[in-house]
Amino acid sequence: MKNPAQNFLHLILDLILFAFMLLGVVGIVFKFIMPEGWLSEGWDLMWEKNPGYAFFFILAAILAFVFGKRWLDNLNLASKPGNFIAYAWALLGAYFAVKLWMTGTF
């Protein structure tokens, strides 16, 4: 069994990793749904070119969700792919933390 100092250090590192992962998720969601974010810019661009593109996007998003959910249900997240996903979110969180610190916004 580890000593209490190692347990405390492990706890602190896990909390930092969780904070970065949470910041990554919040940063992506904010960039996606903010007033001039990716969703509104993409929707406006599609609507200006051809309204049919917007409806095609809705169909593609539904299909991507269904097949993505089916893929994630079959994925063993306790193995390396799960670790990769967690560290990818943490890396995004570190990026957003630095950007927030440097510019004051996401």
Does any domain span residue 81? yes
The region that residue 92 occupies, defined by phi over 0 for left and psi between -120 and 50 for alpha, beta otherwise, is alpha
∠ CA 37-41-42, rounded to 5° = 115
Does any domain span residue 4? no
Give the pLDDT confidence of 66-106 residue by residue, as tens digits: 998 888 787 766 667 667 888 888 999 999 999 989 988 76
Residue 1: per-residue pLDDT: 55
Residue 97 token pair = 């933390």
Residue 7: per-residue pLDDT: 87
Tell me, yes or no, whether 68 and 91 share the same domain. no
Does any domain span residue 97? yes
Fill in the DSSP letter of residue 50.
-
Does any domain span residue 45? yes
Chain centre to alpha carbon of residue 104: 20
Cβ–Cβ < 8 Å for 97, 33: no
Does any domain span residue 48? yes
**In terms of Cα–Cα distance, which of 75, 80, 101, 90 is closest to 28?**
90
What predicted TM-score, i.e. pTM, was given to this entire model?
0.69
Cβ–Cβ < 8 Å for 31, 37: yes
Structural domain of 103 = 77-106
Quote the number of domains for the chain.
2
Give me the chain's average pLDDT, please. Answer: 86
Say yes or no to pLDDT of 39 above 60: yes
